[in-house]
A and B are shown apart, each in its own frame.
Chain A
Amino acid sequence: MKPSLLALLWHNARAARARAYVRVVSTLRELSWLPFEVVLPVMAAAAYVYLYRALDAPPRYAGFVLLGSAMTAYWLNVLWSMATQFYWEKQEGQLELFFLAPISRMAILAGMALGGMFMASTRAIGTLALGAWLFHVPLGGGHPWLALGTFLLTLVALYGLGMVLASVFMMYGRDAFNLVNLLQDPIYLASGFYFPVRALGRAVAFAAAAIPLTLGLDAMRQLLFGGEPLALWTPGVEMAALALLAVAYLFLAYVALTAMENLAKREGRLTVKWQ
């Protein structure tokens, strides 16, 4: 008998929770990451904070930098723990067990994304707390609730992009790793992790807006640290654009996943390791 829609949704939600659980456990069970993944972003931010201070930039620039530095955790997580994850799951023989199970593949990706958000959030919060204490950055000003909403919207769009990349990368295997490397540092620059992105010019910033962090960071900076003549658009426009990106990326992820599964079943890429 075919299960009801509600039963299917509940079943897939449980599957997503189970996949997310792996990342929650790995965050809490082995804390060796803590000194490296919190301290290193703070050190990267420190260089920019002291540079801005030396140039007599407004004090809120320290907040800009710290926020960008904290958000690197999400970008790294999307690249290395979302985009490449299906590829590793395939190599481990785990992917075929997920495909064998009576669940939507989107549930697995959603679980990976939720777990990844938790994992990256622990790093981001650590970086923010340590950086705010070291550089005396006030974090409670502006519109914190709106900033939180923008942050959540940014994460949905960003992890939607990660879901698209996961399917694409699985099909192209090891070659995709070069692309991941290529996407890491250049995006720090293009998305304005350490400076207002409009400094790159509107054309570059517009192109970089395809990465949700670009818009998310720009909007959150405005909402937390006040009006900014170098802002790309108003927070309202940026939030609307983020919502569109979120829908587009989630839809694309579904299409890419279906196409990937069909291709894999046709060509044997999912299960036949020698191919």
Chain B
Amino acid sequence: MADGHTAGPAIEARSLRRVFQERRRGRVVKEHVALDGIDLEVRPGECFGLLGANGAGKTTLIKILCTLLLPTSGEARVLGMDVQREPAAIRRRINMVSGGEHSGYGILTVRESLWLFSQLYGLSNAEAFQRIDRLLKMVDLDGSVRVNKLSTGMRQKMNFARGFLNEPDVLFLDEPTLGLDVQTARRLRSFVREWVEERRKTVLLTTHYMMEADEICDRVAIISGGRILACDTPANLKRGLRQERVVRLELAGGAVAEAAAGVTRGDAAGGAARGGTGGAADVLRRAVQDVPGVRRVTLSALDGRVSARVHVESDGVLVQLVSTIAELGFDLHGLEKQDPTLEDVFLALTGRRLDDEGGAVGR
């Protein structure tokens, strides 16, 4: 049998497909393809990121690998064991943490709650409390607080600690830093990274925070519509876009206030401004997009100012770009050449930003 320390993959999926059926009066009225032929291999000791918008199929894939859901077709193996035929053996060696989960009973303290979960993994009391104290220190959480008194962030810290209780060979982290403050999220990310490196454990992380994936993942797969569109190291994925130049333009003056409001309204409406509303923001976006050599443009607004991130074919496009912006009555406050990010890779592959389906842009 393969395990987390052999040459075989820690996680393997072949032509994995999952279709959810909506039934009414016993008849299937609607089908939703959550996974559409996923092929994936995660190596032992690797921190692997699954990057995708909400509804892309990330959680469905994790649930199948965690033996909580059956695939409609295809095959999936964890530590060399088949998820359909050997779920009990897999469960002994994995764990999962989901962002926003509400595990734990309000009447118990954090320490008691973690002890409860440690018992599900057969730890002795001495070993359990030793691990609990170490993990609570790591996440900076007071174990004597009752679970029903925890804030969202504190609760997520407790969930995070729960995932490491049994020292799993494979840990599934499904949006684990959801709802956490920046400092805590950073601390947990560095803990995950160290844990993977020091103990040669495997982590499958799903996230829609680009920075998170970029910071801790050895390799990243971009998933959209239940399919994996690309899979490589973050550096290689970004290198694929190097033939493009990315410039960031800071705009002021003219109709910038109106444009900023338009961008903000558009964001609130799920990116309507990017799709075109006819307002100042839309006029700006279209004008920039129409400049020959511009491949993509995304607008963002902060504190009444507008920032345009423009992908261009070459530096020669910049002259025409600057002149177009001036013609629209905007003042150019800043121009900065940037390296492509995973957000750019995602945009290039899927044609939309990661937050277009209600998710958040990287922090």
A and B associate: yes
Residues on A facing B (Cβ under 8 Å)? 2, 7, 10-11, 14-15, 17-19, 21-22, 25-26, 29-30, 92-94, 96-103, 265-268, 270-272, 275
B121 at the interface (CB under 8 A from A): yes
Which residues on the A side are within 8 Å of B101 (C-beta)?
Answer: 93, 97
Additional pairs, 4, CB under 8 Å, beyond known A99-B68, A100-B68:
A21-B112, A22-B107, A93-B103, A270-B69
A98 to B121, CA, bound (A): 10
A-B residue pairs, 5 tightest by C-beta: A18-B119, A101-B120, A11-B122, A102-B91, A102-B92
Q: Distance in Å from the Cβ of B174 to the closest Cβ of chain A? A: 11
A266 to B63, CA, bound (A): 12
Q: Do residues A266 and B70 form an inter-chain contact, with CB atoms below 8 A?
A: yes
Interface size on B, residues (CB 8 A): 33
Q: Do residues A101 and B91 form an inter-chain contact, with CB atoms below 8 A?
A: yes
Interface centre among B63, B98, B102, B120 (most CB of A within 10 A): B120
B297 at the interface (CB under 8 A from A): no
Interface centre among B21, B98, B122 (most CB of A within 10 A): B122
A267 to B18, CA, bound (A): 10
A92 to B89, CA, bound (A): 26
Name B119's contact: one of A17, A29, A93, A268 (CB within 8 Å): A17
Which residues on the A side are within 8 Å of B116 (C-beta)?
Answer: 18-19, 21-22
Given known pairs A15-B119, A30-B107, the reply for A100 and B92 (CB within 8 Å) is no
A-B contact pairs, 7 of them (CB 8 A): A11-B122, A18-B120, A21-B116, A26-B107, A102-B122, A272-B20, A272-B63
Which residues on the A side are within 8 Å of B63 (C-beta)?
Answer: 96, 268, 271-272
* 8 A Cβ contacts from B81-120 to A: 88-89, 91-92, 94-96, 98, 101-105, 107-108, 112, 115-117, 119-120
Q: Do residues B122 and A14 form an inter-chain contact, with CB atoms below 8 A?
A: yes
Q: Do residues B108 and A102 form an inter-chain contact, with CB atoms below 8 A?
A: no
B66 at the interface (CB under 8 A from A): yes
Name A100's contact: one of B91, B102, B112 (CB within 8 Å): B91
Q: Do residues A93 and B102 form an inter-chain contact, with CB atoms below 8 A?
A: yes
Fill in one digit per residue for B140-183: 1 if any A CB lies within 8 Å of its CB, else 0.
Answer: 00000000000000000000001000000000000000000000
Q: Do residues B102 and A270 form an inter-chain contact, with CB atoms below 8 A?
A: no
A275 to B69, CA, bound (A): 13
A19 to B118, CA, bound (A): 11
A99 to B102, CA, bound (A): 15
* 8 A Cβ contacts from B232-246 to A: none
Given known pairs A18-B120, A93-B102, the reply for A268 and B108 (CB within 8 Å) is no
Q: Distance in Å from the Cβ of B27 to the closest Cβ of chain A? A: 14
A259 to B361, CA, bound (A): 42
Q: Do residues B117 and A97 form an inter-chain contact, with CB atoms below 8 A?
A: yes
Which residues on the B side are within 8 Å of A2 (C-beta)?
Answer: 89
A266 to B18, CA, bound (A): 10
Which residues on the A side are within 8 Å of B98 (C-beta)?
Answer: 93
Q: Distance in Å from the Cβ of B135 to the closest Cβ of chain A? A: 16
A268 to B70, CA, bound (A): 8
Name A101's contact: one of B70, B104, B107, B121 (CB within 8 Å): B121
Given known pairs A2-B89, A25-B112, A268-B20, the reply for A96 and B68 (CB within 8 Å) is yes
Which residues on the B side are within 8 Å of A10 (C-beta)?
Answer: 122
Q: Distance in Å from the Cβ of B204 to the closest Cβ of chain A? A: 14
Q: Do residues B119 and A265 form an inter-chain contact, with CB atoms below 8 A?
A: no
Chain B residue at minimum C-beta to C-beta distance from A275: B20
Which residues on the A side are within 8 Å of B21 (C-beta)?
Answer: 267
A135 to B116, CA, bound (A): 43
A92 to B100, CA, bound (A): 11
Q: Distance in Å from the Cβ of B25 to the closest Cβ of chain A? A: 15
A7 to B103, CA, bound (A): 27
A29 to B109, CA, bound (A): 11
Interface centre among A18, A93, A100, A266 (most CB of B within 10 A): A100
Name B68's contact: one of A15, A26, A265 (CB within 8 Å): A265
Given known pairs A15-B119, A94-B103, the reply for A270 and B108 (CB within 8 Å) is no
Q: Distance in Å from the Cβ of B123 to the closest Cβ of chain A? A: 9
A51 to B313, CA, bound (A): 94
Q: Distance in Å from the Cβ of B10 to the closest Cβ of chain A? A: 17
Which residues on the A side are within 8 Å of B88 (C-beta)?
Answer: 102
Which residues on the B side are within 8 Å of A94 (C-beta)?
Answer: 102-104
A103 to B103, CA, bound (A): 17
Q: Do residues B69 and A18 form an inter-chain contact, with CB atoms below 8 A?
A: no
A265 to B101, CA, bound (A): 19
A272 to B22, CA, bound (A): 12
Name A92's contact: one of B68, B103, B119, B122 (CB within 8 Å): B103
Which residues on the A side are within 8 Å of B120 (C-beta)?
Answer: 15, 18, 97-98, 101-103
Which residues on the A side are within 8 Å of B96 (C-beta)?
Answer: 97, 100
A100 to B108, CA, bound (A): 21
Which residues on the B side are within 8 Å of A99 (C-beta)?
Answer: 68
Chain B residue at minimum C-beta to C-beta distance from A17: B119
Which residues on the B side are within 8 Å of A267 (C-beta)?
Answer: 21
Which residues on the B side are within 8 Å of A93 (C-beta)?
Answer: 98, 101-103
Q: Distance in Å from the Cβ of B144 to the closest Cβ of chain A? A: 13
Q: Do residues A25 and B122 form an inter-chain contact, with CB atoms below 8 A?
A: no
Q: Do residues A97 and B103 form an inter-chain contact, with CB atoms below 8 A?
A: yes
A103 to B101, CA, bound (A): 21
Q: Distance in Å from the Cβ of A92 to the closest Cβ of chain B? A: 5
Chain B residue at minimum C-beta to C-beta distance from A265: B70
